[in-house]
Amino acid sequence: MEIYIYLISYILLIIGLSVYASRSSTTEDFLIGGRNRSSFTILFSKFAGAIGVSTLITYTGYAYKFGWGLFAMSIGSVVGYLLFAFWAAPRIKRLSLSGNFYTQGDLPGYVTGNNKTTTITNITTMVVQFFWVLLSLAGGAKIIAYFEIMNYEYAVLTTALVVMIYVLLSGFKAVIITDVLQGLIIICFLGLLIYSLFNGTSFSSVLNVSTTENVKIGSIIGLILYGGLSVFGLADRYQLCYAAKDEKSLKKGMGLAIIPVLGIAFLLLLIGLSVYAQNPSLDPDTVFVYAMKNLLNQSLIPLLLVLFFAGLMSTADTSVFAVASHTIFNTKQENKVNKLRITTIVVIISSSVIALFWKSIVDITIVGAALRMTLSIPMIYVIRQKKNSGRFIASVIGGVSGLLIGLAAFGAKPTIAITVLLGSLLGLIYKSKER
């Protein structure tokens, strides 16, 4: 009964915040957060969007399988976060003020002067972000089912309904406001759980644990490439740039977000190694929840579930809004809010149906991560204000082709990041005639 009280209280709090935000919202608030978000808000929204249920599960699963190889991706993440924060974000913000951007595709469309680049970018973005909706729903539902609160199918439908309610109420403003609360909850609760897990246990003994499976060079390169480049392919990062109050707030918020992200990665490494030392034959998808259920005092389980719901909501709402807002990019301004609400419902229903059948979190994460990278090189190209639309489009097509080739050759492995990158770079060789 205590678990239900915690969960219901958390859900009501999130919905209550959204109701409160909706009372003073304008159309611009709903669509892009009012373009006046502070560095504090940007920091926690960036952090909360990066640390979701899928992150908790997959990072711990990678630590369980590969040990310190987990930090191959973190190395790339540090470089990617800082490059985006201090080089890309200010440029994106300045361009957005000139073009009044709402979607990721508005940037290449403005720079190249070709509406085809807008369409191609937004369609690709919809597919990419849809994967992360699936991750959030499937990951959250797996955890709820694992603790036998309700079965997987009911868990998918329940979590989807909650996300849909508060996104419908306040749009992007609700996404950002709730991210602040969710980010704080993730940090506080995960810190408490780690402290309880290792209370009286030597950290050095855990850090010295060696896993039997080594990360192959292809996977290491793939993880570094993903960590460094994926941030350039994510729609919510661009929408945060558009929503920021000014360049100073944007750089500060985006740059500082890497600190809590790395802290969480290290804590998840400790969990993965600790579980491996006790049980080396688990499904990587279940390592995090196994640790919570078997290595912790059971009185902390209600707090664990709140942590998971915070992680679930923080990525699900961002991804749902990204898919819905990019679907209506051609809609007239006066119709955007209503169309976005309708599209949100469609996204939630369709993703829920798929999540009922595709339940492998690690596989979805790897494919989704590679999909993110299909836009990374093309977006870097236009952030540099290179204007040849043919090169941009060819780079997107090359990235998608590289993804398909990588999946056929290697399957759902981190190595496919290499084929995506090669395809994107080869696409830049093509140059259309300037008119």
Q: What is the DSSP string of 232-295?
A: GG-HHHHHHHHHBSSHHHHHHHHHHTHHHHHHHHHHHHHHHHHHHHH-TTS-GGGHHHHHHHHS
CA distance 92 to 101: 10
pLDDT by residue (tens digit) across 78-109?
A: 888 889 999 999 999 999 988 889 999 999 99
CA distance 346 to 30: 18
**C-alpha dist (Å) from residue 101 to 51, 197, 374, 382, 390:** 26, 46, 21, 14, 22
Residue 183's pLDDT is what? 80
Residue 202's pLDDT is what? 62
For residue 377, pLDDT over 50 is answered with: yes
Other CB atoms closer than 10 Å to residue 397's CB: what's the count? 19
Residue 398's pLDDT is what? 93
pLDDT by residue (tens digit) across 310-362?
A: 777 777 788 888 888 888 888 888 788 889 889 999 999 998 888 887 666 55
pTM of the model: 0.83
CA distance 29 to 15: 17
Residue 109's pLDDT is what? 93
Residue 363's pLDDT is what? 59
Q: 2-360 architecture in CATH?
A: Up-down Bundle (1.20)
Rounded mean pLDDT of 230-249? 88
Which of 87-96, 217-226, 235-244, 406-415 shows the lowest mean pLDDT across its residues?
A: 217-226
For residue 200, pLDDT over 60 is answered with: no
Cβ 307 vs Cβ 186: under 8 Å: yes
Mean pLDDT value across the chain: 81
Residue 108's pLDDT is what? 94
Identify the band that residue 293 occupies on the pLDDT scale cut at 50, 70 and 90. Answer: confident
Residue 134's pLDDT is what? 80
CA distance 38 to 90: 14
Rounded mean pLDDT of 57-72? 77
Helix (H) / strand (E) containing 194: helix 152-197
Residue 435's pLDDT is what? 47
Residue 19's pLDDT is what? 81
Residue 335's pLDDT is what? 85
Angle at CA of residue 263, ends 257 and 266, nearest 5°: 140
Kindly list the domain boundaries of the chain, sorted by start residue: 2-360
For residue 205, pLDDT over 60 is answered with: yes
Residue 434's pLDDT is what? 59
For residue 241, pLDDT over 80 is answered with: yes
Cβ 413 vs Cβ 433: under 8 Å: no
Least Cα distance to 123 among 352, 385, 339, 400 occurs for 400
Cβ 127 vs Cβ 115: under 8 Å: no
264, with CB counted inside 10 A (0-12, 13-18, 19+), is: buried
**C-alpha dist (Å) from residue 374 to 132, 237, 400:** 15, 15, 6
CA distance 379 to 233: 7
Q: What is the DSSP string of 19-83?
A: HHHHTT--HHHHHHGGG-B-HHHHHHHHHHHHS-HHHHHHHHHHHHHHGGGGHHHHHHHHHHHHH
Residue 370's pLDDT is what? 74
CA distance 85 to 87: 6
Cβ 128 vs Cβ 371: under 8 Å: yes
Which residues pair with residue 244 across a beta bridge? 37
Helix (H) / strand (E) containing 182: helix 152-197
Residue 282's pLDDT is what? 85
Long-range contacts of 382-387 (CB under 8 A, 24+ apart): 382/107, 382/108, 382/111, 382/112, 382/117, 383/88, 383/91, 383/92, 383/107, 383/232, 385/91, 385/95, 385/111, 386/111, 387/111, 387/112, 387/113, 387/434
Residue 427's pLDDT is what? 92
Residue 100's pLDDT is what? 85
Angle at CA of residue 71, ends 66 and 74, nearest 5°: 140
For residue 271, pLDDT over 50 is answered with: yes
Residue 135's pLDDT is what? 75
Identify the band that residue 121 occupies on the pLDDT scale cut at 50, 70 and 90. Answer: very high
Other CB atoms closer than 10 Å to residue 161's CB: what's the count? 12
For residue 389, pLDDT over 80 is answered with: yes
Residue 203's pLDDT is what? 65
Residue 382's pLDDT is what? 94
Cβ 269 vs Cβ 65: under 8 Å: no
Distance of CA 132 to the CA centre of its chain: 6
For residue 157, pLDDT over 80 is answered with: yes
Q: Percentage of the chain surpassing pLDDT 70? A: 89
For residue 136, pLDDT over 80 is answered with: no
**When comparing pLDDT for 200 and 19, which is higher?**
19
Cβ 251 vs Cβ 90: under 8 Å: yes
Cβ 308 vs Cβ 140: under 8 Å: yes
